[in-house]
Amino acid sequence: MKQQTERLRPGDVVEVRRPDEILQTLDADGTLDRLPFMPEMLGYYGQRFRVVRRVVKTCTSGTRAGSSMLGFRNDDVVLLEGLRCSGADHGGCQKACMIFWREAWLRKVQVEGPESRPDLGSCEQLRARLKTSTGPNKYFCQASELLNATRPLSRLKRFSKSFREISAGNCSVFQMTERIGIWVFWKVRRVLLGAYGRGNNKFTPVESLNLQSGDCVEVKPMELIRQTLNEGAQNRGLWFSPDMRLLCGRQQRVEKRIDKIIVDGTGEMRQLHNTVFLEGSHCSCPHVAFGGCPRDEYVYWREIWLRRINGAR
């Protein structure tokens, strides 16, 4: 049974509903309109958060240098400030996806007022409903089910959804115009010149720095990074995207190493090597996704694209 909810907008304060209320919205697989409510979300019930944006459209991530724009079947999904999946109940996945929230799982509240008290009994009932895997090394989560919970957007739909982003309060007219301009520029450039940063390697090189959280690094100049890439601007399947060039020559701090992630659409746990997240390095996809994407995913950095600062750890 779906809860009747008020349409939420960026800036609204919401409270995550009680477990018994959420349970009423879920099917036997623990999903609502095929989007799973995950065990990692249980710890947030009764707490209050601010809506950062409505998910008017989204994209899939992977190793391909491209983007497939998708839309949820019902316009009822939002993102909450700072809430990312810990992966604790999904084999320790380190992808740190922004969590999708159906409006039926939330209630709009005033900033003032006490948070709801936890109900441990109903929490365990809800946990028992939630599925986390479909087989050996196959996980069931919002990333694995993203293609099932959405549908591809036609070119016309992508265009109209960009106007919807503005009316939903996700961005201004100027911001959307800028995103579309970026997309047009890189689209034309790819057609005329091929992938940005493409190299000549048939087999791309490997370098291990054994970077750890807190290490200070400098992103190498583009001419050195190009020497690590193939004709598709990839290093061992990982794309060096055009927006990553903006950090070349800059000093950054390593947020964490990335050893394993769940692949969008398949649920497969994929192993990574010599790859890290850098603090503040997120992707909004305007260079490949018309009008951008709200998922705000971390950008993956091969260690061969970085150098330690003074050998510090």
The pLDDT tens digits of the residues spanning 160-216 come to: 998 999 999 999 999 999 999 999 999 999 999 999 999 999 999 999 999 999 999
Q: Residue 254 — pLDDT band, cuts 50, 70, 90?
A: very high
**pLDDT value at residue 174:** 96
pLDDT in tens, 87-146: 999 999 999 999 999 999 999 998 766 666 666 678 899 999 999 999 888 999 999 999
Percentage with pLDDT > 70 across the chain: 92
Residue 48: DSSP 8-state: E
Q: What is the pLDDT of residue 127?
A: 95
Give residue 182's region: left, alpha or beta (phi > 0; psi -120 to 50): alpha
DSSP characters over 107-147: EE--SSSPPPPP-HHHHHHHHHH---EEETTEE-STTTTHH
Q: Which residue has the tokens 């609204």?
A: 12
Residue whose tokens read 């909810």: 5
Supply the mean pLDDT for the chain.
91
pLDDT, position 289: 86
Output the CA–CA distances (angstroms, integers) from residue 266 to 86, 147, 211, 260, 279, in the order listed.
19, 9, 29, 14, 28
Residue 293: both structure tokens together: 């994407």
Task: Name the packing angle between helices 155-167 and 173-193 (round to 10°).
Answer: 150
Percent of the chain residues past pLDDT 90, beyond the cut: 80
CA 54 to CA 291: how far, in whole Å? 14
Provide the pLDDT for residue 312.
Answer: 54
**Predicted TM-score (pTM) of this structure:** 0.91
Position 64 confidence tier, pLDDT thresholds 50, 70, 90 = very low
The domain spans of the chain are 13-156
